Structure 1
């Protein structure tokens, strides 16, 4: 497993539009159809990564807590399924059902969406404001597999609360760390 951190982006980065296959509903869904009224969280995740497995339950908790406050949540998997069949759309749907994902779990087959977002790792978290400008790009919290810290979603919660209160983006944003996105050859 290659430990990779998220790429640095500034707050002038605007969320690129996409239309991707949702493994849960079986429909093609777009950013504009999924974004929240108050903000949007986009998460690049996958099924097999131990870092994602470590935080999956908290992602569901966060979404259930903040979707009612006008925050949209979108999960995207961009991994090469030829070499990582655990990340196939069929397996994505099973994971979404197992954890009762309240958000779309989209399959980025061409990997163009991951490239447009400069995504580097799983998990890779982005919070966008109402205008789809980057507000936060960083870690969920300090917990990692094996470090014995509880998964709380603290950093993401601070960012979402600040966004909802109309505050400026947090000055300190630690990058997310996880497995590298499995790019196609």
Structure 2
């Protein structure tokens, strides 16, 4: 069942994190990847059909915009006991297969997702060069089976505005996708 995100106050400061990169097997922190231009923090996972639907275009977009000085990081916060396809080994295999140009971090405790108030996959948070939230929303309007082409239009528009030092539109479309699989307490 599709899940939509709630609005988060724009201008809020990015939360610090240090998580295991499933590809390099090293800890990666926000300070390690933050860019003076913009930083895209993406909550994704392996199993979600909404993520699978946009993933090839997302990898291409990240490749293109990293060359312009924007950094990207993907985080999976799903409980691997609930969804085994979202465990660290499977994450590494997917990142290698699709040649992710960004770290793919595993949020085993789910604390990073909670701090960011992430709710679904895919979900995008874009921070400006001062680590202030400039955008929280969707990649674009494409969904599995809705016949809208995957373009990354919404994310591209925000990144272009930040690169041009222009204000980002306050009307932002929420992400829609699979809910994060929270660990049972």
User: What band does the TM-score fall into relative to the shorter chain?
Assistant: over 0.9
- The residue number in structure 1 matching 2:58 is 59
TM-score by length of 1: 0.98
Q: Which residue of 1 aligns with 2:24?
A: 25
RMSD over equivalenced CA pairs, Å: 0.7
Instruction: Tell me, in whole angstroms, the C-alpha distance in 1 between the residues paired with 2:56 and 2:78.
Output: 21
Q: Secondary structure at the match of 1:109?
A: coil
Structure 1 runs of 4+ with >4 Å offset:
none
How much has 1:35 moved relative to structure 2? Answer: 1.3
1:161 is matched with which residue? 160
Number of the residue aligned with 1:75: 74
Unaligned runs of 5+ in 1: none
Describe the SS at the equivalent of 2:67: helix
Q: Secondary structure at the match of 1:90?
A: helix
Q: Normalising to structure 2: TM-score of the pair? A: 0.98
2:138 aligned with 1:101: no
In structure 1, what is the equivalent of residue 139 of structure 2?
A: 140
* CA distance in 2: counterparts of 1:112 and 1:139, whole angstroms: 22
Is residue 139–residue 174 contact of structure 1 (8 Å, CA) maintained in 2? yes
Alpha-carbon offset, residue 172 of structure 1: 1.7
Contact 2:36 2:130 in 1 (8 A): no
Number of equivalenced pairs: 184
CA distance in 1, matches of 2:31, 2:46: 25
**CA-CA distance at 1:7 after TM superposition:** 2.1
